[in-house]
Amino acid sequence: MDPDQQAEAYFTLPENTLITIFEPHMHAPGVRMCLDAIWGHNVQTLNCAGYDHSWVRVYNYADDAAPLLPKGTILRMTGYFNNSPSNPNVPDPRNWSGGGHRSVDQMFINLMRGVYLTEEEFAAEMAKRREALGLADGEVVLGCPLCGTMVEAPAENAGGGQ
């Protein structure tokens, strides 16, 4: 019977990642889902979408807006739920509702699509983004915390010609 419930889930990216799709998936009590990227002391909201159990949506990021995140970024997903009579998707809010797979449970998952990138691919994608957006050194852009930093190419023969 609570109209204002919230749950969070976390995932640390094991590799540099380009996220191409955000697809919140919830069940009847779900009303909103947000995805944040936490990198160092920075927290950026990548997407926050209302949810209607009768109409599931897929959000495709534009090429110059797709999150481009470094290895170690923490993704935080927050789900908001309404299990009260004010939510027409909940057949009987008097029933217990918790995390689970039933349609009346508080499921929330992000069916996002992401591509892991090597260091070279990541640097190349950041350079393309920097150029496409006209970023100056030190500028910050949402969803790409390192795009405003100049990445130096590794020096050839850095080992002194050995």
Domain ranges of the chain: 5-117
Tell the CATH topology of 5-117. Answer: Jelly Rolls (2.60.120)
In sequence order, what are the beta bridge partners of 8?
78
- Residue 58 and residue 146 in contact, taking contact as beta carbons nearer than 8 Å: no
Question: What does the pLDDT read at residue 156?
Answer: 54
pLDDT score recorded for residue 162: 45
- 3-state DSSP call for residue 2? coil
Position 153 confidence tier, pLDDT thresholds 50, 70, 90: low
Q: Reply yes or no on whether the pLDDT at 3 is more than 80.
A: yes
User: Which of 133, 159, 161, 157 has its CA nearest to residue 147?
Assistant: 133
The average pLDDT across 121-150 equals 90
Indicate the length of the chain as a whole number. 162
pLDDT tens-place string over residues 42-52 = 999 999 999 88
**CA pseudo-torsion sign 48, 126, 38, 15:** positive
Q: How much is the pLDDT for 97?
A: 74
Cα 7 from Cα 125, distance rounded (Å): 33
Distance linking the first and last C-alpha atoms of the chain: 71
Decide if pLDDT at 66 tops 90.
yes
Q: What is the percentage of the chain residues whose pLDDT exceeds 90?
A: 56
- Residue by residue, DSSP assigns 10-48 as EEE-SSEEEEEEE-EEE-TTEEEEEEEEEETTEEEEEEE
